[in-house]
Amino acid sequence: MISTIVEDVLLREPPVYHFGRLVCDVLCYGALRMQVSGREHVPREGGLIVACNHISYVDPVALGCAFPRPISYMAKVELFRIPVFGRLLAALDAYPVDRGKGDVAAIRASVRELRAGKAIGIFPEGTRNLAGDAQVHTGVALLASLADAPVVPAFVRGGDRARRLGKLKVAFGEPLRMGNRTGGKASREELEKWTAQVMARVRALGEMLGAN
């Protein structure tokens, strides 16, 4: 059952996003019996980053349903040029990134979203990490530094069992902020240290949720 606080947030969502969430709620809360913990840790306003593990294509859907406010994901700019589908992506609060211009475009677009007060979802492992040994990227730490945005760690458990209608679990941790820096642009060492701290919190949530 979605809490009263979450229902109140849903009423303020864009209509298409709200409809999409309701459809996904039927899947996640109904068929997959999703359980969510830690919503009280999520700031109700202001730009923030949600850093989550990634083992399944279900993860973004589960994360979006469990999160108590609209969450944005980046998508390649070509998708926004497709008639109807592009408008649907925009209505679902996705934002375009020109991959041909490299990471700079993605960083700039994400910082704009954060400074506009939006929440963006990022999977630091960059791709589905089935074996748990994928390289973790420092993009979350860089964005947190540039936009002065808190990072909410999250963990989705059970997405890889969705086809068998296994139970989903999602947990959110307390927001984290960049530690004291030397001033100016964060160094590589600072970004790597901060990234390690974020991922440690993410994995701790996974341990809390257990194996089942």
- 75 three-state secondary structure: strand
Q: Please, which pLDDT band fits residue 10 given cuts at 50, 70 and 90?
A: very low
Which runs of E-coded beta strand occur in 41-181?
A: 48-52, 71-72, 74-76, 95-97, 119-122, 151-157, 169-172
In a domain, 90, yes or no: no
What single letter denotes the amino acid at residue 72? S
pLDDT in tens, 19-49: 777 888 888 888 888 899 999 999 999 999 9
pLDDT in tens, 47-74: 999 999 988 888 888 998 899 998 888 8
In a domain, 83, yes or no: no
Query: Which structural domain range is residue 46 located in?
Result: 4-68+119-209
> pTM for the whole thing?
0.81
In a domain, 160, yes or no: yes
Residue closest to 73 by CA, chosen among 62, 83, 64, 84 = 64
Measured between its terminal Cα atoms, the distance across the chain in Å is 20
What is the total count of domains within the chain? Answer: 1
In a domain, 91, yes or no: no
In a domain, 9, yes or no: yes
CB 119 within 8 A of CB 69: yes
